Amino acid sequence: MQRYTFEFLDPILLFLLLLADSHLSQFLSALTGNLLMPVTHLSLIVLMYSVTKHRLPFLMSVTVALGLIYDSYFIGVLGLASALFPLAALFLYEIREIVYHSRWTRVVSGIIVVFVFETLLPTLEVLFGLAHVSLAHFVTYQLAPTLLVNILLTFLLLWPLEKLYNLRRIKEESPELLEN
């Protein structure tokens, strides 16, 4: 697919995945009898691949919009995720030359982005007085299951996302595209 096709389809795909994250997280939580609260981050995993197809200003505008939707849909206070999503996109954009050299670095980058997002969001909520979180409870019942689920999703989506974003072809035929 061409760059312009991705500029049209990626925001729609990321939005749909943001909504799917909610439903999949609720389903996984229900499977454990609401004991564990794994949060899927399909949108962050796909965002990791989107940085290969877009320029930074476009990524920033899309991720601010996604963050505002996330804030209004999940948190109820605007500003937290609308700051974290662009920061995640900026981080991934800046390290894209390193990340896309091997599958292993893509997996590790996905884990890092999910971990940072999943720890900064509750930290900000506590700092702003929006929530009271027990660290032991958070790590045991939310962070650990979230990381396990997202590591599995990262591995499962690795090959399909490489195909969708023509990542092998970009790396082998024109590595300068990753340097834009």
Number of domains in the chain: 1
Residue 87 lies in domain: 3-175
* Residue 115 included in any domain: yes
How confident is the model over 12-39, as pLDDT tens digits? 999 999 999 999 999 999 999 999 999 9
For 129-169, write each residue's pLDDT tens digit: 988 989 999 999 999 999 999 999 999 999 999 998 887 65
At 83, list the tokens: 């700051």
pLDDT of residue 173: 47
**Quick check: is 19 in a domain?**
yes
Express as a percent the part of the chain with pLDDT over 90.
Answer: 69
Helix, strand, coil percentages in the chain from 3-state DSSP, rounded to 5: 80, 0, 20
Q: What are 48-60's pLDDT values in tens digits?
A: 999 988 999 999 9
The model's confidence at residue 8, banded by pLDDT at 50, 70 and 90, is: confident
Report the 3 state secondary structure along 93-155.
HHCHHHHCCCHHHHHHHHHHHHHHHHHHHHHHHHHCCCCCCCHHHHHHHHHHHHHHHHHHHHH
- 180 in a structural domain: no
Q: Is residue 68 part of a domain?
A: yes
In a domain, 154, yes or no: yes
Q: Is residue 47 included in any domain, yes or no?
A: yes
